[in-house]
Structure 1
Amino acid sequence: MAHAKIGIIGGSGLYKMEALKDVEEVTIDTPFGPPSDAIILGTLDNTRVAFLARHGRNHTLLPTELPFRANIYAMKSLGVEYLISASAVGSLREEVKPLDMVVPDQFIDRTKNRISTFFGEGIVAHITFGEPICTKLAAVLADAVESLQLPDVSLHRGGTYVCMEGPAFSTKAESHLYRSWDATIIGMTNLPEAKLAREAEIAYATLALATDYDCWHPDHDSVTVEMVVANLHRNATNAQKVIQETVRRLTENPPESSAHSALKYAILTPLDKVPAATKQKLELLLKKYL
């Protein structure tokens, strides 16, 4: 059985990892359907990692269409314990410039049409989510960014990621509202991804890559699609360097994460009362508690 302790989900612009060696594609069937694409297993500095293009390698899936449950379940089935989410975002703050990197520590969920849990169908669980990012994994990620001293890139530790439904971008009124909430960045994909990773007991952290200022900015109209696409490509190049350094650090010193036992006190339903079909469906998540 293929195995990887570290998983990477690549967002807009990051559809493959150039540095991966000994690459193999793994097609995984899950109880929640197929993931966004085949998962690419490869070696990064002697460490086996699993890479998934969030929107598919040809960017064919809208944010709302993403099979979030299948993506996380597939990573869990490969043994992933640490999940790095690389995500393109818009900036809600003047100081977060295009090409900057943010490692957020909070989320605001503005999605409307997504299933954000593995549970239901006869089993109830309520994970704690006050700290939605694994702080230890986030620290490793931020330290990796800082150590590389990438040109034209500033690191912002902490901040709030607003996750909107999409696919249209914000209205100006919405953008100003999010700024009034002291939010830092805005994107369309990291929820319910982070919630499902927590339910799967996977440590999760976001590497947010700013492509542009959201529409609140007075100079927004001067931003062209060509500029945003150029920033996506530059971000993807930078992200791969950060991910490689993060993987090296995680391999040398993997941190203990409270996410790895997130279900210990979260399941309210006695497991002997869970319907057999549901128990079988969720066996991958429940087996250490059965």
Structure 2
Amino acid sequence: MTIEFAVIGGTGLTAIEGLEVIHREVVHTPYGEPSGPVTHGMIEGKRIAFLARHGYTHNIPPHKVNYRANLWALKSLGVEKVVAMAAVGGITPEMKPTRLVIPDQIIDYTYGRAHTFFEEGLTDVTHIDFSWPYCPEVRNALLAAAECAKLDVVPHGTYAATQGPRLETAAEIARLERDGCDLVGMTAMPEASLARELGLCYASCAVVANWAAGKDTDEITMAEIEQNLLLGMASARALLRALVC
């Protein structure tokens, strides 16, 4: 049976509620080991694959994720469409904690990550068009699923991909806002561009876990993030269930 799509789970999503697990598959890649075995399962009668980006025990920090191995593993299994879940900080007023956002743009502030498959044994230098980093087909499917499930989502936004694992300073967030960023997270890049290099149709659903630094008077705490993720990820799971209806 064809895999309808793969889900890459971020912080707060290491399993999908309602997924009937068929089996878990260890995939070895030319780029090292993925974050964990790929879970194959059925949900609402459709076959999907699931991979926890940070590991199933959430022990891999964002700058240590083997993005190339993760994407290559999914591609090798016949996956064509990928939904990437991510926990993010909100910068602009619309991006309130617990909201779901379907971003449409990225600005990359990461460094030192293995960010391309096009390095060795090339006959020509290879470039990809990355003007619009998220696949419109999957983005539109996510937006339609949100409408079907009556979920309050923001249908656009620019994701600032920072290095991590520390959170940003208030001055850094002010700079990101001046740059035009609405959200800040640590995993959109190079995941999105690697997916494009492999020809995967890739889009993201971001869950706002907290106001970014300097956007609220309170210090950012893990307790706050975890509480907001409980609410936000419940909506994200509802979105995924609607996506396969």
TM-score w.r.t. structure 1 length? 0.81
**Do 1:161 and 1:183's aligned partners in 2 also have CA atoms closer than 8 Å?**
yes
Change (3 A) 1:212 1:22: closer
Structure 2 residue 224 is matched with structure 1 residue 227: yes
Distance in structure 1 (CA, Å) of the matches to 2:4 and 2:158: 27
Alignment-derived partner of residue 107 in structure 2:
108
Distance change in 2, residues 1:23/1:234 (3 Å)? farther
Q: Distance in 2 between matches of 1:146 and 1:90?
A: 23
Partner Cα separation in structure 2 for residue 46 and residue 88 of structure 1 = 28
Using the aligned pairs only, state the percent identity. 36
Letter in structure 2 aligned against 1:127: I
> Which is helix-richer, 1 or 2?
1
* Partner of residue 168, structure 2: 170
2:233 to 219, 232, 236: 236
CA shift for structure 1 position 229: 0.6
Aligned-residue offset at 1:3:
5.4
Q: Does 1:185 find its partner at 2:198?
A: no
- List aligned pairs for 1:144-155, cutoff 5 A: 144-150=145-151, 154-155=152-153
The one-letter code sitting in structure 1 at the alignment partner of 2:240 is: I
Q: Aligned equivalents of 2:49 and 2:88: distance in 1? A: 23
Out of 194, 199, 202, the residue aligned to residue 196 of structure 1 is: 194
Deviation track 1:29-70 (CA, whole Å, cap 9, x = no partner) reads: 011111101110000111110000000011110101101000
SS at match of 2:145: helix
Q: Which runs of 4+ in 1 moved over 6 A?
A: none
SS of the residue corresponding to residue 15 of structure 1 reads coil
Instruction: In structure 1, list runs of 5 or more residues that go unmatched.
Output: 249-290
**For residues 88-140 of structure 1, what are the alpha-carbon distances to aligned partners after superposition, in whole Å with 9 as ceiling and x for unaligned?**
00001122110111101100000011111111112131110001001121011
Q: 1:76 and 1:205 mapped to 2: Cα distance?
A: 15
Quote the offset at 1:181 in angstroms.
1.6
> How many pairs align?
243
Distance 1:136 1:102 in 2: 16
Distance change >3 Å, CA 218–CA 234, structure 1 → 2? closer
Q: Is the 8 A contact 1:175 1:216 kept in 2?
A: yes
Contact 1:214 1:220 (8 Å CA) reproduced: no
Q: How does 1:118-129 map to 2 (within 5 A)?
A: 118-123=117-122, 124-129=125-130
1:205 matches 2:203: yes
Please name the residue that 1:32 is paired with: 31
Distance in 2, matches of 1:107 and 1:100, equals: 18
Displacement, 1:242?
A: 0.5
Q: Aligned AA for 1:194? A: A
Corresponding residue of 1:4: 3
Residue identity opposite 1:88 in structure 2: A
Once residues 233 and 7 of structure 1 are traced to their aligned partners in structure 2, the CA distance between those partners, rounded to angstroms, is 22
Counting only pairs closer than 5 Å after superposition, residues 65-76 of structure 1 correspond to structure 2 as 65-76=64-75
Number of the residue aligned with 2:80: 81
Partner amino acid for 2:230? H
CA distance in 1, matches of 2:114, 2:169: 25
Unaligned runs of 5+ in 2: none
Which structure: larger Rg?
A: 1
Deviations 1:138-195 (A, max 9, x none): 0110221222124xxx311111000000001111111001111221100000110000
Distance 1:34 1:3 in 2: 24
Is the 2:100–2:235 contact (alpha carbons within 8 Å) kept by the matching residues of 1?
no
Question: Alignment partner of 2:189: what SS?
Answer: helix
| Alignment-mate amino acid for residue 51 of structure 1 | F
Q: CA RMSD in A?
A: 1.4
Q: C-alpha distance in 1, partners of 2:217/2:239?
A: 29
The 3-state SS of whatever aligns with 1:233 is helix
TM-score where L is the length of structure 2: 0.95
